[in-house]
């Protein structure tokens, strides 16, 4: 948003310096541009400032086996379409009595270590929220692996059978 700031200062012997302007009130209009914190901007420098949280039309690929669901993120996408949510729900249907383990794998090739961890945790929390919408009582453990050797950004969901002690 834009803010106009108006400062009124009185010239005195201390701050007038060599300026012998007879105007006792000096009006300074400054236009200050700021950006909301919610816009995803960070203090890092470079051409990729703030783009880690922007979907810009990219998608995810979801593949599954009986015990594992792999969500591969393309680009910087972190959210899910309705179709993706349906695929996750279909895979979870027979796993309601299991705990889930989510491993977020984030390559560290083009971003800093701290940004890769932040991106991994943000994507993991969003994925956990989507799962909790479907099955609110499921127990989910999550870890983030910021691997320099990995070339793809993905979430691997596996099941852990519950140990019932009754």
> pLDDT value at position 150?
72
Q: What is the pLDDT of residues 26-39, one digit of tens each?
A: 565 555 555 544 44
User: Residue 109 sits in a domain of what CATH number?
Assistant: 3.30.1330.60
91 pLDDT exceeds 50?
yes
The lowest-confidence range among 31-35, 44-48, 67-71, 100-104 is 44-48
- Per-residue HEC secondary structure of 19-61 comes to CCCCCCEEEEEEEEECCCHHHCCCCCCCCCCCCCCCCCCCCEE
In a domain, residue 8? The reply is no
In a domain, residue 12? The reply is no
90 pLDDT exceeds 80?
yes
In a domain, residue 148? The reply is yes
Q: What is the pLDDT of residues 133-153, one digit of tens each?
A: 888 888 899 999 987 677 788
In a domain, residue 109? The reply is yes
Helix axes 82-92, 113-134, angle to 10 degrees: 70
Rounded Cα distance between 9 and 30, Å, is 14
> pLDDT value at position 147?
75
Structural domain including 65 reads: 60-161
In a domain, residue 34? The reply is no
Total structural domains within the chain: 1
108 pLDDT exceeds 60?
yes
In a domain, residue 7? The reply is no
In a domain, residue 4? The reply is no
> pLDDT value at position 70?
92
Say if residues 140 and 131 touch (Cβ distance below 8 Å): yes
In a domain, residue 39? The reply is no
> pLDDT value at position 43?
45
Mean pLDDT of the chain: 72
């Amino acid at each position: 948003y834009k803010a106009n700031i108006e400062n009124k200062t009185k010239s005195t012997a201390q701050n007038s310096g060599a300026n012998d302007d007879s105007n006792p009130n000096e009006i300074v209009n400054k236009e200050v541009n700021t950006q909301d914190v919610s816009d995803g901007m960070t203090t890092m420098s470079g051409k990729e400032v703030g783009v880690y949280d922007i979907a810009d039309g990219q998608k995810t690929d979801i593949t599954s086996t009986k015990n594992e669901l792999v969500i591969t993120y393309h680009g910087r996408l972190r959210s899910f379409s309705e179709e993706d949510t349906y695929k996750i729900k279909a895979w979870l249907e027979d796993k309601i009595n299991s705990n889930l383990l989510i491993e977020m794998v984030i390559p560290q090739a083009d971003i800093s270590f701290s940004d890769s961890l932040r991106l991994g945790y943000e994507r993991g929390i969003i994925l956990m929220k989507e799962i909790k919408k479907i099955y609110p009582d499921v127990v989910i453990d999550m870890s983030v692996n910021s691997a320099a050797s990995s070339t793809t950004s993905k979430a691997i969901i596996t099941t852990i059978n519950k140990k019932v002690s009754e």
